[in-house]
């Protein structure tokens, strides 16, 4: 503590410290305490916040106490699992003071679940998330082709998996063309490589089926196949996909989201291809059944022919015309009867119409001693008022014409 004195040497009020000075002093004391700069601390996560900056803020607590903590973005992106409230963890950190607020807190650089591996927890969290979204649902699975002509293979070009796939596929079904997309299958860059491979086959090199996988290994070795981006890419694939990752006991997220999961890369090749020997046996079966069917048809036809030859109709074929002849006579009689009836009806109608027409014919009237008169203009004279004395008129008779002069007119 600094003290000040007057001119007589008397002690006066000490010089006060600012809040910032006190906080900085305490910060310096804690920062110099080496045991607080490299500690592992166990506790339960609460008040967790994933800031838009990428920094993680949370509180670690036990039954009696709690302490604030921060994990900066440069460390946070390395965490494989998703931090949640209520999660018990073990964090590696240093303790320091945030001088502006006067709070001491943890500055965490790594964190892992307490009692369970970080990768295993991350695997279970992603598995649960994608399951809830429906990415594993059976109704979204595509059907594998029975006889693929092209097979796309995504794996390391130097591993044992690619040799196993090629050997099994060519042995079982040598007619299929195998297209290899060489990809990383381990390490931080592997998921990006695998995603590009699936997209390549979907967008640039359409194949009938895709096999994606690698040989066995630890959970760290297989971790690329637990990538969320890869899982979503496989889910969106328009081409049926078979996942053959690791050994039979290994399960990855890729296995769950693919259309079919194979226990090993070799098993994936078996699932993707039919067995040529089985196909040959199948065709031989078809051939045998077809020949048997043909023989049965021939035998049935031969039997029918034999029965026909034995029939009376075959011995006297003219009998088959007896019934048609009788039917023909019946039909002929019916036609003649109908025609005569029609002809008689028509003749009666004709005579009736002819009589009506004759009664209306003016010549028939003239033949009974009547005449028709016309003036010099050839107009019919219907009344005595239509002529004058001295007019010349034509009198039409049945057999000719008489020209006369009007000398007198008398009314009725």
The residue out of 217, 249, 277 marking a domain boundary is 277
Q: How far apart are CA 135 and CA 308, in angstroms?
A: 69
pLDDT recorded at residue 103: 82
269 and 157 assigned to the same domain: yes
Q: Do the domain assignments include residue 185?
A: yes
31 and 110 assigned to the same domain: yes
**CATH code assigned at 68:** 2.40.50.140
pLDDT recorded at residue 17: 78
pLDDT recorded at residue 6: 57
Residue ranges for the chain with pLDDT beneath 50:
none
pLDDT recorded at residue 9: 62
53 and 157 assigned to the same domain: no
Instruction: Domain of residue 220: give its range.
Output: 137-277
Q: How would DSSP label each residue in 136-155?
A: T-GGGPPPPPSS-SEEEEEE
179 and 259 assigned to the same domain: yes
145 and 272 assigned to the same domain: yes
pLDDT recorded at residue 14: 67
pLDDT recorded at residue 258: 96
143 and 241 assigned to the same domain: yes
pLDDT recorded at residue 285: 84
Angle CA 167–217–133, to nearest 5: 95
pLDDT recorded at residue 385: 80
- Helix (H) or strand (E) run with residue 25 in it: helix 19-32
157 and 244 assigned to the same domain: yes
Please state the domain count of the chain. Answer: 3
In Å, what is the CA distance from 235 to each residue of 141, 238, 271?
A: 9, 9, 19
Q: Do the domain assignments include residue 83?
A: yes
232 and 190 assigned to the same domain: yes
pLDDT recorded at residue 148: 95
**CATH code assigned at 181:** 3.40.50.2300
Q: Do the domain assignments include residue 54?
A: yes
């Amino acid at each position: 503590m600094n003290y000040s004195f007057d001119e007589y040497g008397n002690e006066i009020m000490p010089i006060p410290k600012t809040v910032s000075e006190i906080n900085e002093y305490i910060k310096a004391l804690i920062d110099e305490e080496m045991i607080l700069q490299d500690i592992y601390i166990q506790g339960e996560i609460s008040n967790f916040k994933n800031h838009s900056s990428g920094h993680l803020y949370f509180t670690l607590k036990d039954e009696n106490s709690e302490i604030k903590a921060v994990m900066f973005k440069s460390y946070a992106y390395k965490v494989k699992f998703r931090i949640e409230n209520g999660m018990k963890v073990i964090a590696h950190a240093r303790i320091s003071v945030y001088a502006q607020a006067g709070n001491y807190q943890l500055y965490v650089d790594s964190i892992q679940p307490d009692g369970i591996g970080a990768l295993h927890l991350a695997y279970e969290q992603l598995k649960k998330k994608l399951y809830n979204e429906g990415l594993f649902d059976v109704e979204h699975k595509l059907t594998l082709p029975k006889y693929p002509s092209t097979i796309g293979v995504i794996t390391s070009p130097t591993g044992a998996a690619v040799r196993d796939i090629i050997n099994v596929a060519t042995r079982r079904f040598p007619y299929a063309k195998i297209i290899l997309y060489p990809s990383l299958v381990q390490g931080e860059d592997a998921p990006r490589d695998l995603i590009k491979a699936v997209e390549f086959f979907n967008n640039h090199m359409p194949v009938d089926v895709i096999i994606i996988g690698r040989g066995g290994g630890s959970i760290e070795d297989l971790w690329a196949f637990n990538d969320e981006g890869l899982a979503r890419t496989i889910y969106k694939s328009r081409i049926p996909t078979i996942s053959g990752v690791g050994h039979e006991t290994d399960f990855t997220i890729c296995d769950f989201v693919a259309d079919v999961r194979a226990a090993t890369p070799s098993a994936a090749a078996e699932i993707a291809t039919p067995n040529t020997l089985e196909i040959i046996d199948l065709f031989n079966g078809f051939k045998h059944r077809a020949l048997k069917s043909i023989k049965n048809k021939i035998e049935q036809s031969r039997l029918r022919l034999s029965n026909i030859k034995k029939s009376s109709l075959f011995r006297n074929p003219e009998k088959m015309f007896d019934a048609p002849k009788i039917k023909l006579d019946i039909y002929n009689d019916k036609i003649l009867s109908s025609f005569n009836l029609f002809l008689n009806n028509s003749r009666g109608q004709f005579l009736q119409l002819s009589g009506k027409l004759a009664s209306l014919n003016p010549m028939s009237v003239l033949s009974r001693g009547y005449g028709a008169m016309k003036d010099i203009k050839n107009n019919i004279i219907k009344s005595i008022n239509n002529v004058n004395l001295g007019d010349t008129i034509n009198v039409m008779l049945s057999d000719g014409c008489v020209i006369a002069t009007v000398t007198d007119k008398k009314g009725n």
